């Protein structure tokens, strides 16, 4: 006789736990799977969002960067910075790095 664990909540929790690392580095998937959103997973996902936002800003996508930064701040209330200012700062850093040295 085979016994199956058909407790949906337990199965869902197990699935979310198995996908933990994937969800953290793919916050767009975590955002869709609300049942997998735990406070600790959201905080880890926020870190990924900040990294993605920084990359977007360095590629001159200020709006995309601000969107990522804002979502990160929603997920982790310990993140305190001005999203728009941070994105512009990173864009400007990229411009400085691209300019040839004037020696």
Contact (CB, 8 A) for 27 and 36? no
Average pLDDT over residues 2-8: 72
**Model's pTM, two decimal places?**
0.82
Q: What percent of the chain has pLDDT over 70?
A: 86
CB hemisphere CA count around 84 (13 angstroms)? 0
| SS3 call for 99 | coil
Q: How far apart are CA 99 and CA 11, in angstroms?
A: 54
Say if CB 83 and CB 70 are below 8 A apart.
yes
Question: What was the pLDDT predicted at 103?
Answer: 44
Instruction: Identify the three-state secondary structure at position 25.
Output: helix
> What's the pLDDT tens digit per position in 87-100?
999 999 876 655 55
What distance in Å separates the CA atoms of residue 87 and residue 21, rounded to the nearest whole number? 27
- Would you list the domain boundaries of the chain? 20-95
What is the pLDDT, as a whole number, of residue 78? 97
| pLDDT value at 52 more than 60 | yes
Q: What pLDDT is recorded for position 8?
A: 81
Let me know how many helices (H) and strands (E) the chain has, helices first.
6, 0
């Amino acid at each position: 006789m085979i016994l199956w664990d058909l407790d949906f909540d337990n199965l869902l929790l197990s699935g979310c736990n198995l996908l933990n690392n994937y969800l953290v580095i793919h916050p767009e998937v975590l955002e869709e799977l609300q049942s997998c959103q735990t406070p600790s997973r959201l905080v880890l996902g926020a870190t990924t969002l900040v990294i993605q936002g920084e990359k977007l800003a360095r590629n001159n996508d200020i709006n995309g960067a601000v969107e990522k930064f804002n979502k990160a701040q929603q997920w982790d209330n310990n993140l305190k910075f001005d999203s728009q200012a941070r994105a512009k700062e990173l864009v400007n850093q990229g411009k400085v790095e691209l300019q040839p040295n004037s020696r």
